[in-house]
Amino acid sequence: MAGALRYDSGDVAACARLGLSARKMWTGFKTLLLSWVLWDFFVYLGFLAAGENMGARWRMSVLMPLPGGLFWSSPVAVALLVAGCLAMAAVLMRGSLMASRIAFEQIRGDDFYSGAEASSFARSHSAPLAAVPLLLVFLVAILLLKGAAVGLLSRIPAAGPVVASLLALPLWGAMLLAVLTALALLLAFVLLPAIVACTKGDTFESVFELFSTLTSQPWRLLLHGILAVLATALGTAVFALFSAGAMGLLSLTTSWASGGGGFTEAIAAGPRLLAPELLPFFSRVGTMGGGGSVAAWGGAAGLIAGVSGAAMFLVLLSYVFSCLASAWTLIYVGLRRRRDGTDLLVEADREDMREYERLYGGGIPAPGRPGPREGN
């Protein structure tokens, strides 16, 4: 893969292929599942704090509750929702860091980089994932407080409006910086894991790379982001088409062998069973247009088949997760090369060689690892 990189928009389309990786998809599956559990915990806790009828809410929402009704009238429930969203963001960014690290090693040519190695890397380099967003939020808050302070200053009789007018120009500049920082904060949730995965950078380096990437090549960044979404959507559509075909073959073979139907219908009803508010019509996709019903297979069999269908849907979402993590890794590697000429693949090889020579005192690469490339 490394030799095929062109460091331009053409590389981004490779995310659809890189996304089809069992290790990255397994990482995405665990990440999405944990995020789902966190959502359920905090939202149901919020409904409980709001005084909602929990039995009726469970029958309505099952494992995918959507805030509504009394929920929004309770400050405690809203605070719990915010806490849950922050916890989910942390989990998703850590999972993205692991998937991006695997993608980076794949791009380098190391197809044997394991999920355990990615998990170890995330444990050692996850500090910027929390520190950088907190720093950006703090900076935005400080800049907004400056505006509020000038507003209070303007209330002083006579001299206040004059002083506020004199501060208008620098205050406008501060608000421009606030807008830029807010954009960097939004970008951090998708690009920061790729930056850390490729550079092993600390908080300061990650902030520098984030702002440098945003300000030096904004249009190229936007274009590559759009291409990443399009490539992911196309790859997901193909994956879903193959999944629907597999479900059709499964329905054909099981109905022929069992003398009746119901198996694939129960599987396809899984997402609707577990998330009736969010996915009431998903079963039509899973059965290529036919409806799904867990009642077709009653009792424990129907429940297990439905959960299996939900897991299949989560695998599809895991592919999306893997594609996007790969895409942002490719985007950052390409933009970094275009910005300052740094080839992160070569830099990583040189770092591996220095570490190997430090440990073994030789110039032969470690077995199973890519050797050094030529310079830039």
* DSSP conformational letter for 4: G
| 134 closest CA partner among 191, 98, 86 | 86
Beta carbons within 8 Å of 44's beta carbon, 6+ residues apart: 54, 57, 65
| H helix or E strand, kind and range, residue 300 | helix 299-340
Find out whether 320 and 236 touch, Cβ atoms under 8 Å. yes
Residue 244 and residue 373 share a domain: no
State how far the Cα of 323 lies from the Cα of 232, in Å rounded to an integer: 6
Find out whether 264 and 253 touch, Cβ atoms under 8 Å. no
- Structural domain containing residue 323: 2-342
Residue 150 and residue 126 share a domain: yes
Cα–Cα distances in angstroms (integers) from residue 170 to residues 142, 165, 330, in the given order: 14, 10, 38
Q: What is residue 305's predicted lDDT score, i.e. its pLDDT?
A: 76
Residue 136 and residue 116 share a domain: yes
> Based on the structure, what is the number of domains in the chain?
2
The count of other CB atoms within 10 Å of the CB of residue 270 is 28
State how far the Cα of 68 lies from the Cα of 282, in Å rounded to an integer: 22
Q: What is residue 33's predicted lDDT score, i.e. its pLDDT?
A: 95
Residue 369 and residue 318 share a domain: no
State how far the Cα of 200 lies from the Cα of 71, in Å rounded to an integer: 41
Lookup: tokens for 21: 């990786």
Residue 251 and residue 204 share a domain: yes
Residue 369 and residue 272 share a domain: no
Residue 361 and residue 320 share a domain: no
| 299 closest CA partner among 277, 257, 266 | 266
Q: What is residue 288's predicted lDDT score, i.e. its pLDDT?
A: 39
State how far the Cα of 204 lies from the Cα of 211, in Å rounded to an integer: 11
In which residue are the tokens 């999405």 written? 32
Lookup: tokens for 136: 């950006």
Q: What is residue 74's predicted lDDT score, i.e. its pLDDT?
A: 92
DSSP reduced 3-state for 157: coil
pLDDT block averages, 10 residues each, the chain of length 376: 73 92 95 96 94 88 87 94 96 96 92 92 94 96 92 86 89 94 95 95 93 92 95 95 87 73 71 74 44 56 78 93 96 92 89 82 54 47
Q: Over the stretch 50-103, which tens digit does the pLDDT of each residue have?
A: 988 899 888 888 888 999 888 999 999 999 999 999 999 999 999 999 999 999
Residue 251 and residue 358 share a domain: no
Find out whether 185 and 133 touch, Cβ atoms under 8 Å. yes
State how far the Cα of 244 lies from the Cα of 312, in Å rounded to an integer: 11
End-to-end CA distance of the chain: 17
Q: What is residue 260's predicted lDDT score, i.e. its pLDDT?
A: 61
Residue 124 and residue 67 share a domain: yes
Q: In 200-298, which residue ranges form alpha helices assigned H by DSSP? A: 203-216, 218-258, 263-268, 270-274, 283-286
Q: What is residue 375's predicted lDDT score, i.e. its pLDDT?
A: 44
State how far the Cα of 166 lies from the Cα of 81, in Å rounded to an integer: 42
| 101 closest CA partner among 24, 15, 190 | 24
Residue 367 and residue 331 share a domain: no
State how far the Cα of 142 lies from the Cα of 137, in Å rounded to an integer: 9
Residue 249 and residue 169 share a domain: yes
Three-state secondary structure string covering 44-96: HHHHHHCCCCHHHHHHHHCCCCCCCHHHHHCHHHHHHHHHHHHHHHHHHHHHH
Residue 327 and residue 305 share a domain: yes
